[in-house]
Amino acid sequence: MTTHKTKVLIIGAGPAGYTAGIYAARANMKPILVTGIQPGGQLTITTDVENYPGFATAVQGPDLMEQMRLQAEHVGTRILSDTIVSVDLSQRPFVAKGDGGDTYVADTLIAATGAQARWLGLPSEIEFNGAGVSACATCDGFFYRGKEVVVIGGGNTAVEEALYLANLASKVTVIHRRDRFRAEPILQDRLFAHPKIAVIWNHVVEEVLGRREPVKAVTGVRLRDTGSGATRDVPADGLFVAIGHDPATKLFAGQLELLEGGYIKIVPGTTRTSVEGVYAAGDCAEFVYRQAVVAAGMGCMAALEAEKFLAEHSPDPKVRTEELQEPEMIGAYD
């Protein structure tokens, strides 16, 4: 077991985390980034990415994240494959514990733990993920211009996704398991008034239909009536699951102020959290846009704010002797 000391500890290895590492390293803060269980975040399960600046042609999600990782390492970010299981943010320096028993002591901390889309949990949904099944209309809607798509859900996200897709697709069918939406009335009015959007009430997706040769692709969905149990097939070129996201913020419960839904509360226009010296970037705090470029921008903001904080605040003189007196100290700065 080892104790790692750093000016800034970054938890999470998505666009927000890697960008924070790049900016923090270039500011000579010698950051340590702990990857967690899914280095690269949601983009590691994304195929073509056409909306990230700097690429004239589509870049594969895993390739984009690998380039971010290499860039962060190149400028000096120390990247460790570990999972943080607990944090103590009650005083500085902050202390985090890794799954393998290592201790991380940091003057500032950037939470970039991301979020995960909720899925239906169907084997066929997993099989066609990235081949017609998506959880992000803004990310993937471009690929369905002039095609028919279905959207699953009944909240604001589902209605907003359907309205966005209606600008691209030839037809959008919203499938909801109940007989009314939970979305805001103004959004419902826009949806019901749109000539390219249809709604199927009281149905759930039983199976995602598709072909496997020559190229794997979705061809439709099999629905089940929640009342009668009868099934029917609806043709579609794409399926968008819009039943919400779960931010990966359980680690910070009771430590940071969280919003309803579990997102980390930040001061508007900043990445500052309820604890001085702790910042949050990316999908763990931002639930409106959910875009890689936005997460990257927030990672930049968090690193710059951490740098400013360190310039204005000397390290807390209260030394946590039980953590700092370990026989092996990695990444220490003096």
pLDDT the model gives residue 323 = 43
To the query of whether residue 300 is one of the catalytic residues in this protein, the response is no
CATH architecture of 120-242: 3-Layer(bba) Sandwich (3.50)
Name the token pair of 73. 């390492």
Specify the amino acid at residue 311: A
- Domain 3-116+245-324 identical in fold to domain 120-242: yes
Contact 4, 331 (CB under 8 A): yes
Residue found by looking up tokens 């969280």 in the block: 258
| Main-chain phi, psi angles of 119, to 5 degrees | -120, 170
Q: How far are the Cα atoms of 128, 132, 216, 220 from residue 149, in angstroms, in the given order?
A: 14, 9, 16, 9
How high is the pLDDT of residue 332? Answer: 46
Q: How far apart are CA 61 and CA 68, in angstroms?
A: 11
Q: Are 99 and 75 in contact (CB under 8 A)?
A: no
How far from each other are the two terminal CA atoms of the chain, in whole angstroms?
A: 22
Give me the pLDDT at residue 315, please: 60
103, β-bridge pairs: 3, 97
Instruction: Provide, for the chain, the percentages of residues in helix, strand and coil under a 3-state DSSP scheme, each rounded to the nearest 5.
Output: 30, 30, 40
Distance CA 312, CA 290 (A): 32
List average pLDDT for each run of 10 residues in the chain, which is 334 residues long.
Answer: 96 97 97 89 75 90 93 97 96 95 97 92 94 90 96 94 96 97 94 97 97 94 97 97 92 95 96 98 92 96 98 64 44 45
C-alpha dist (Å) from residue 37 to 11, 66, 116, 154, 248: 11, 15, 13, 31, 11
140 in catalytic set = yes
Tell me how far the alpha carbon of residue 104 is from its chain's centroid: 24
**Domain locations along the chain:** 3-116+245-324, 120-242
Predicted pLDDT of residue 77: 98
Domain 3-116+245-324 has CATH 3.90.1150.10: no
Closest listed residue to residue 261, CA positions, set 271, 242, 248: 248
Give 159's Cβ-side CA count (13 Å radius). Answer: 18
Of 82, 102, 107, 139, the active-site residue reads 139
Q: Which among 209, 243, 322, 250 is positioned nearest to 86, based on CA atoms? A: 250
Which position among 107, 140, 237, 283 bears the catalytic label? 140
**DSSP characters over 11-70:** E--SHHHHHHHHHHHHTT---EEE--SSTTGGGGG--EE-SSTT-SS-EEHHHHHHHHHH
